[in-house]
Amino acid sequence: MNITLSLGPLVSLIAGILILIMPRLLSYIVALYLIIIGIIGIMGVGSSHF
């Protein structure tokens, strides 16, 4: 039996638990997520060019 964990759902789960524990973290987590997604989009890491 193979169990694979991808990074996206794992980060989402941890972020959700942290938001439940400390709701003030919501704005920081959302801001950090948007910054990371923006940097990945600008750098083109998400798309592979062959």
pLDDT for 4-49, tens place per residue? 666 777 777 887 888 888 888 888 888 888 888 888 888 876 555 5
pLDDT at residue 31 in the model: 84
| DSSP, residue by residue, 1-50 | ------HHHHHHHHHHHHHHH-TTHHHHHHHHHHHHHHHHHHHT-SS---
15 CB-near residues (< 8 Å, 6+ apart): 29, 33
pLDDT at residue 27 in the model: 85
pLDDT at residue 45 in the model: 63
pLDDT at residue 36 in the model: 82
pTM over 0.85: no
Encoded tokens for 19: 């938001």
